[in-house]
Amino acid sequence: MIAVGKSAPDFTLPDQAGKSHTLSKYRGRWTLLYFYPKDDTPGCTKEACMLRDTFPQFENMHADVLGISKDSVASHKRFAEKYSLPFPLLADESGETVTKYGVWQEKKMMGKAYMGIVRTSFLINPEGEVAKIYEKVKPEIHAEEVLNDLKEFGAE
């Protein structure tokens, strides 16, 4: 189980350009690892665009942003290009990482149950430990919420 103060589970996944990213290589910097259900859907687009619009503030705080969903590299490429996203979108097509992080859960829509990614983020400190877990993320305020927490953690 992932918990605040514990090491964030490592993984290696390809981004929208096919380049591999390994979480442990981001040590030494703050990292926002945000899991989202699907490329180019209303909530996911809103969240990604809010992160895009505040991305210079993340950079000023020496914080990286990594998005993860089960969509393909090609889907991520289209999504990132369509909205000019300046950060990596990682493709977890096997579902191994979303399962490891506990965000692959049963969801319900219109009375039907199905498995999917529950919108959740993890703020990882420069030592590779989980500093904060964001559950039931609200896409329209998430970027500002994380930036405020980074300030509180002294990431400026």
Give the span between the Cα atoms of 71 and 69, in whole angstroms.
Answer: 5
d(CA 119, CA 91): 15
Residue 57's H or E segment, with its range, is helix 42-60
Sheet holding 130-134, edge to edge: 89-91, 63-69, 30-35, 120-124, 130-134
44 is catalytic: yes
For 90, the 3-state DSSP assignment is: strand
CA 111 to chain centre: 28
Choose, from 8, 33, 44, 90, the residue flagged as catalytic: 44
* Dist. CA 89–CA 67, nearest whole Å: 5
Catalytic site positions: 44
